[in-house]
């Protein structure tokens, strides 16, 4: 019976979406750099000195959970663990993140056609 119910569900169509970043996420992505390699947690903490550590830790955990940022740290619970970890932007999302950092209005295409 469960198999019958699953077959009757409509197929989900995955639509592309725009990444929406808040201020803390933007600060962290800029500090990591989109084209650069890995940076250690201590350097990230220095570059994000304007953020409180708890806010930085919470935001970096969210970015890792979404897959936008990758880390070698198994757990990020305190400052010592964060300083030892290395972080970098996931290259699969780098173009989308770049667009999210600098959103541009796409010019609307005119419906008018030039006739010769």
**Distance in angstroms (rounded) separating the CA atoms of residues 79 and 45:** 9
pLDDT at position 4 is 47
* SS3 label, residue 37: coil
Instruction: Identify the H or E element spanning 71.
Output: strand 69-71
Structure pTM?
0.71
Closest alpha carbon to 76 in 89, 67, 65: 65
* Predicted confidence (pLDDT) per residue in 18-72, tens digit: 778 888 888 999 999 887 788 999 999 999 999 999 999 999 999 999 888 999 8
* Predicted confidence (pLDDT) per residue in 67-114, tens digit: 889 998 778 888 999 999 999 998 888 888 888 887 676 666 667 777
Cβ neighbors of 81 (< 8 A, separation 6 or more) are 41, 73, 75
**Distance in angstroms (rounded) separating the CA atoms of residues 42 and 112:** 56
The alpha helices in the chain, defined as continuous H runs, are 2-7, 23-32, 41-47, 53-66, 79-84, 94-101
Q: Which domains does the chain have, with CATH numbers?
A: 23-99 (1.10.10.10)
Residue 86's DSSP bridge partners are: 40
């Amino acid at each position: 019976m469960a198999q019958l119910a699953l077959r009757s569900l409509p197929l989900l169509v995955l639509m592309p979406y725009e990444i929406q970043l808040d201020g803390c996420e933007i600060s962290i992505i800029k500090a990591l750099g989109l084209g650069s390699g890995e940076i250690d947690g201590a350097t990230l903490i220095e570059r994000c000195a304007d953020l409180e550590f708890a806010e930085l830790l919470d935001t970096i955990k969210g970015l890792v959970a979404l897959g936008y940022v990758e880390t070698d740290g198994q757990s990020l619970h305190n400052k010592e663990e964060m300083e030892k970890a290395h972080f970098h932007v996931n290259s699969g999302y780098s173009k989308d993140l770049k667009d999210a950092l600098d959103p541009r209005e796409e010019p609307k295409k005119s419906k008018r056609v030039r006739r010769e």
